[in-house]
Amino acid sequence: MAEGFDLIVVGTGFASTFYLREALAHLPPSARVLVLERGQRRTHAWQLANPSARESERKPTFTNLTPEKPWIFTLGFGGGSNCWWACTPRFLPADFAMKTRYGVGHDWPLSYDDLEPFYCEAEAAMSVAGSDAHSPVPRSKPFPLPPHRLSEPDLRLLKAFPDQFTVQPTARPTQAVGDRPACCNNGVCALCPIDSKFTVQNTMAQVYEDPRVEVRFGARVQRVDIADDVARGVDYVAKGVEMSSLGGFVAVGANAIFNPHILQRSGVSHPVLGKRLGEQVSVNVDILLDGLDNFQGSTSITGHGYMLYDGEHRRERGAALIETLNRRLLRPERGKWRQRMLLKIIVEDLPHEDSEVRPNADRPDVPDVRFGGWTPYAQKTLTELPRLLGKVLAPLPVERASILNRRNPSESHVIGTVMMGEDPETSVVDRHLRHHRVRNLAVLGASAYPTASPSNPTLTLSALSIWAARHTFSAA
């Protein structure tokens, strides 16, 4: 006889952790919650001692049919919070309504205004630092922490574009937060040596210490048991043994590669399930400055430029978010060492029908992942970049600017595959991330995004988890 729980949560990344925290705020003291995490709980010290473990743990978990396009994530307690760079922009209001505003992509079934209070809660939990004076979006609350210090070139851009340039919001704190020291600009944030950036482990581990919660590591969920449009529980493998647990509600937060695969293996079918896998595409621009020193900022990425982001151009080409990088990249010439600047231009793409996650009959545990290429929508912005950059760089004394030929192979953002929407015919989950038919099944994270936006996805998916769990459990 399988054991029973009120709630089963799959995964311990951002999506699952924020969802679970909110659910616990509404569940009764007698509730029983099971969390199943396929990876292990690795301490920060262990991760520093084993820096290559992430890649070797990730590689065997899916088959990349288009290996020129990597998909990067981290398995284990805290998921991608261990390896992320902690850049936390909000999406712009237009990002939620691309079809209505610009006739491309799909509208989200919720608006920026719907999500705004939940953005505030996610920022508070992560202790995000940012600039209230130069926010590109309306805010109902100030940032939890003051902004990082900009570099001199950043300050020139801020002066020239006061409404289109800001300090990057980030979960790399400007002051100590609990045991997390202030960010001191080591610039290797994927594994912060001083454990400064937000991770689930250093800030939200107490969610998993709630007496109602039982966590099982090394437990890989294979499928959700669904009968008569009701989720009954999950089947999983732990220590090589197949096991089952019954659950009154199941929330799957395994990321945009494994979420659709778990659903596909559960017998869920839908024309868009597994489709529209994607992310942004980015290039770097190397700028030699003439007489202006750089690198005075107080964290690894300091500025955010919105000069190429929103507007009518989005009818035909992708928006671009500009990051100014503050990691030291010195020039060799005497006296000019610091007269250099690196920008990253991150371009949105539209959902691509040929990019997908699909089951493999011969290897049912390992999904096939295929990338159909970036669409002409993103490519048009990249093609026009030399012209577009003229306006952006005009306030700076530029000796030479070179757009580096090679596109960055990955933005490390996995998006799409379990789209949300109002219409069950064209989407898999609703605005509260619940399956349209199987109402006691939620699918969390960026897999639900109808469109990607050029902005980093994680603050938004964390806010979305709080929003979804509050609507589900406060009404229960």
Ligand X SMILES: Cc1cc2nc3c(=O)[nH]c(=O)nc-3n(C[C@H](O)[C@H](O)[C@H](O)COP(=O)(O)OP(=O)(O)OC[C@H]3O[C@@H](n4cnc5c(N)ncnc54)[C@H](O)[C@@H]3O)c2cc1C
Residues forming contacts to ligand X in the complex (CB under 6 A) are 10-16, 36-39, 72-73, 75-76, 79-80, 83-87, 190, 220-221, 253-255, 258, 262, 412-413, 445-446, 456-458, 461
Q: Which x/- pattern over 171-210 shows residues binding ligand SF4 (rule: CB under 6 A)?
A: -x----------xxxxxxx--x-x-xx-------------
Q: Which residues contact 464 (CB under 8 A, 6 or more apart)?
A: 15, 115, 118, 433, 444, 448
Residue found by looking up tokens 């503050």 in the block: 326
The burial class, CB within 10 Å (0-12 / 13-18 / 19+), for 97 is: middle
Instruction: Choose the contact partner of 421 out of ligand SF4, ligand X, none; CB within 5 to 8 A by kind.
Output: none
What's the rounded Cα separation, in Å, for the pair 268 and 274? 11
If binding is defined by CB under 6 A, does position 442 make contact with ligand SF4? no
Instruction: Choose the contact partner of 72 out of ligand SF4, ligand X, none; CB within 5 to 8 A by kind.
Output: ligand X
Instruction: Choose the contact partner of 237 out of ligand X, ligand SF4, none; CB within 5 to 8 A by kind.
Output: none
Amino acid 9 reads V
# of chain residues touching ligand SF4 (CB under 6 A): 14
* Residue 195 structure tokens: 């454990």
Residue found by looking up tokens 């594994």 in the block: 191
Closest approach, Cβ 150 to ligand SF4, in A, equals 15
Instruction: Choose the contact partner of 172 out of ligand X, ligand SF4, none; CB within 5 to 8 A by kind.
Output: ligand SF4
Which of 117/187 has CB closer to ligand SF4? Answer: 187
If binding is defined by CB under 6 A, does position 48 make contact with ligand SF4? no
Which contiguous run of DSSP H or E holds residue 242?
Answer: strand 241-252
Closest approach, Cβ 451 to ligand X, in A, equals 15
Residue found by looking up tokens 């912005």 in the block: 381
Instruction: Choose the contact partner of 76 out of ligand SF4, ligand X, none; CB within 5 to 8 A by kind.
Output: ligand X
Estimate to the nearest angstrom the gap between the alpha carbon of 47 and the chain centroid.
21
Q: Which x/- pattern over 154-173 shows residues binding ligand SF4 (rule: CB under 6 A)?
A: ------------------x-
**Residue-level length of the chain:** 476
If binding is defined by CB under 6 A, does position 234 make contact with ligand SF4? no
If binding is defined by CB under 6 A, does position 87 make contact with ligand SF4? no
Amino acid 155 reads L
Q: In the beta sheet, which residues pair with residue 170?
A: 87, 129
Instruction: Choose the contact partner of 412 out of ligand SF4, ligand X, none; CB within 5 to 8 A by kind.
Output: ligand X
CB of 189 closer than 8 Å to CB of 326: no
Instruction: Choose the contact partner of 440 out of ligand SF4, ligand X, none; CB within 5 to 8 A by kind.
Output: none
Cα→Cα distances 349→105, 107, 323, 444, Å: 9, 14, 17, 21
If binding is defined by CB under 6 A, does position 476 make contact with ligand SF4? no
Instruction: Choose the contact partner of 48 out of ligand SF4, ligand X, none; CB within 5 to 8 A by kind.
Output: none
Closest approach, Cβ 170 to ligand SF4, in A, equals 8
Closest approach, Cβ 398 to ligand X, in A, equals 27
Which of 375/447 has CB closer to ligand X? Answer: 447
What's the rounded Cα separation, in Å, for the pair 18 and 463? 8
Closest approach, Cβ 35 to ligand X, in A, equals 9
What's the rounded Cα separation, in Å, for the pair 327 and 291? 19
CB of 170 closer than 8 Å to CB of 298: no
What's the rounded Cα separation, in Å, for the pair 10 and 15? 10
- How crowded is residue 331: how many other Cβ atoms within 10 Å of its Cβ? 15
Which of 13/454 has CB closer to ligand X? Answer: 13
CB of 294 closer than 8 Å to CB of 80: no
Instruction: Choose the contact partner of 73 out of ligand X, ligand SF4, none; CB within 5 to 8 A by kind.
Output: ligand X
If binding is defined by CB under 6 A, does position 299 make contact with ligand SF4? yes
CB of 265 closer than 8 Å to CB of 364: yes
Residues that bind ligand SF4 (CB under 6 A): 172, 183-189, 192, 194, 196-197, 299-300
